[in-house]
């Protein structure tokens, strides 16, 4: 059984460009979460999906951010018109909706906006 995977692991982009990240959750997990972590802080919740439905979005998720999970399996997080303040580690986590509350995290995508 593979864990949560994320691609790419690192992304360097110029301000104003669009970027897209992918997350593949643990196969039987129907809940998928996106978090963002900046230096010196803990991860902060951005959004989550149950199957293909996006059920909650944080106020941290500006209009430039969009997330999808079209078939209830993998998810993408797109940032349009990137800003330097978007530089962070973007983490994906998954869990099954029933049972333990533990979320399992992927390795993250580190974004640097120049």
Question: In this complex, which beta carbon is closest to another protein, that of residue 63 or of residue 101?
Answer: 101
Q: Is 31 in the site for another protein (CB under 8 A)?
A: yes
Question: In this complex, which beta carbon is closest to another protein, that of residue 74 or of residue 105?
Answer: 105
Task: Kindly tell me the number of DSSP H helices and DSSP E strands found in the chain.
Answer: 0, 11
Residues 6 or more apart whose Cβ sits within 8 Å of residue 56: 47, 48
Question: In this complex, which beta carbon is closest to another protein, that of residue 5 or of residue 76?
Answer: 5
Q: By CB under 8 A, how many residues form the interface with another protein?
A: 27
- Shortest Å, Cβ 74 to another protein: 16
Residue keyed to tokens 């120049």: 114
Contact pick of 11, 21, 36, 48 for another protein (by CB under 8 A): 48
Strand pairing category for 10-13 and 19-24: unpaired
């Amino acid at each position: 059984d593979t864990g949560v995977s994320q691609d790419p692991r690192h992304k360097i982009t110029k301000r104003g460009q669009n970027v897209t990240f992918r997350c593949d959750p643990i196969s039987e997990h129907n809940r998928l979460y996106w978090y963002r972590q900046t230096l010196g802080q803990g991860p902060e919740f951005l959004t989550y999906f149950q199957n293909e439905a996006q059920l909650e979005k944080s106020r941290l998720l500006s209009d430039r951010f969009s997330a999808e999970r079209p078939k209830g399996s993998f998810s993408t997080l797109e940032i349009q018109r990137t800003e330097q303040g978007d530089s962070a580690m973007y983490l994906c986590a998954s869990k099954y909706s029933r049972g333990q509350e533990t979320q399992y995290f992927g390795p993250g995508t580190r974004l640097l906006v120049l």
